[in-house]
Structure 1
């Protein structure tokens, strides 16, 4: 983004801030929606390089990100700056993850389709029914002035969201997931960021290789899946959650058949895995959590059902208890 277009958007942001000072709730909600549109544009259209920290429960990780875009699409590279070596390379909707071989199973469980940002909200009637949009305070992150946008859940089946956006560009500089007690359960924050006119193509190429690393690809040429209709259905979804994806594939060296259903309210998403009971060496029974992620496991006949998502416990437990085979009466 350059010249007149850049300053036009910056001017719109300043004008909106001035007009919304002291405005009523309806106007503030509309203003929050406009800020989210700016964020979406910035994440897709800007070229940038930066470092962000990601806090998930008691874990803190640092990542370097490079993002490039042109008329042919988007390219992105994420590099871990601490812990074991790992990278994520994205070309539009094709994501390649390079991880130590021993962690590849964890990667399959968490489905690497989303890289950065963690979520990309688009305001519509569906989200309005389940979240209240609010403008928060101005702040300062990575040396840049920011505007906070809040999405407050209207029930106990989803988290609240806090987005801190760069005042000049609309770029997301910090995001937070907040539980029902107001505690931050997940945070992503840039510590430095620079906007570029050009990103060197070689800087987007993988920097690690070797037999000890596994490449996992998700997207246009990802792991094969088998078409068909789900053999399981969710009979008790939380309000607003709808089926977003379904796939059947074989996992692990043994080629264990796994079914996966994905449900979303347009912002939060939940994955449901169904696999043979005998194939799971240490099945999850009941509830488990780590940071913002909650999981719930139960057995139904000869099948283990595991529900995982960045949603509160009430959501995963409700979905798990409502799963049943389609042929069941």
Structure 2
């Protein structure tokens, strides 16, 4: 009997490992789809009581020659009302809005798109387990469910529905520990193209700035010492600023945390005399915690309990 139990246990572990491996293979397929395909997609973003529609154009252009040069282009266009037109050429992302100068940043993807689709799979595998679910029909296509379940309860999980034919992501849900949907990203129209979409051709030769905007540096002022005594599991400190930014709107200290996929900001300011507050906009929590003569503000995609513990750790 013990030998039988051991064999059964080994079989279950082997099946579980195979299922997880299949899940990561499907995830890699979806990441390749959004980087390698030429497409014209319309999607909606739903969070809280808001619904926004966007058109997403993407293409890869291969220049002819003895040394072929590949250029990746994409554009994100709001469909509901006038807003910021966002486009990318390789690692330069541009933001254009009426009445404002063109803003350029450095990034390999447009940050308004689901970050889970573009971040390094090696980093994501440290944070999530990948398990394939059942197939269903979505937008007239057969979709395969892939659950990315967070190892840590303080981190939200993702459910992805991938097109069975191409692997293209058709829907991405951000869910909490109770599998309640906090945010939803869903494709409502998808057209794959054999070549670069015509609308992106102008970006190939457009005369665009390449240097990102340099933010003005604040003059050094009297340092105020604060410490952040705890970090959520998997997060690291990216930036720590402990000097006041302006005398009329003082930030006494600030920290930026990342787990490679998400970012959390923590600010310390003189108290405004308001009670403790916590709001959630989709998966983003905004918490303000008064402490003696200061207010600690935490903003990021994390549970309210984790945000409270983070604020409590400021000394």
TM-score normalised by L of structure 1: 0.69
Structure 1 residues 194 and 224, CA gap change in structure 2 (3 angstroms): same
Structure 1 residues 79 and 26, CA gap change in structure 2 (3 angstroms): same
3-state SS of 1:234 partner: coil
Whole-angstrom distance in 1 between the partners of 2:282 and 2:93:
24
Count of aligned pairs = 275
3-state SS of 1:262 partner: strand
Whole-angstrom distance in 2 between the partners of 1:235 and 1:225:
29
1:195-206 equivalent positions in 2, closer than 5 A: 195-196=192-193, 197-200=195-198
Whole-angstrom distance in 2 between the partners of 1:223 and 1:249:
19
RMSD of aligned residue pairs (Cα, Å): 3.8
Which of 236, 255, 280 is the matching residue for 2:230?
Answer: 236
3-state SS of 2:113 partner: coil
Q: 1:37 aligned to 2:28?
A: yes
Q: Which residue of 2 aligns with 1:78?
A: 76
Which of 252, 261, 271 is the matching residue for 1:267?
Answer: 261
Whole-angstrom distance in 2 between the partners of 1:310 and 1:288:
12
Which of 182, 187, 190 is the matching residue for 2:179?
Answer: 182
Q: Which residue of 2 aligns with 1:9?
A: none
Whole-angstrom distance in 2 between the partners of 1:199 and 1:173:
20
Structure with the greater relative contact order (CA < 8 A, sep ≥ 6): 1 or 2? 1
3-state SS of 1:323 partner: coil
Q: Which residue of 2 aligns with 1:60?
A: 51
Offset, 1:81: 1.2
Whole-angstrom distance in 1 between the partners of 2:27 and 2:49:
29
Whole-angstrom distance in 2 between the partners of 1:129 and 1:94:
28
Which of 316, 319, 322 is the matching residue for 2:307?
Answer: 316
Offset, 1:258: 8.3
Offset, 1:32: 1.0
Asked whether the equivalents of residues 284 and 306 of structure 1 are also in contact (C-alpha less than 8 Å), the reply is: no
Whole-angstrom distance in 1 between the partners of 2:89 and 2:23:
30
Q: Which residue of 2 aligns with 1:297?
A: 288
Deviation readout 1:188-228 (Å, 9 max, x if unpaired): 000011112122255776xxxxxxxxxxx9x9513416599
Following superposition, which runs of at least 4 residues in structure 1 exceed 6 angstroms of deviation?
A: 247-252, 254-259
Unmatched runs of 5 consecutive residues or more in structure 1: 1-22, 102-111, 206-216, 325-329
1:166-181 equivalent positions in 2, closer than 5 A: 166-181=163-178
Q: 1:150 aligned to 2:150?
A: no
TM-score normalised by L of structure 2: 0.72
1:85-124 equivalent positions in 2, closer than 5 A: 85-99=83-97, 114-119=111-116, 120-124=118-122
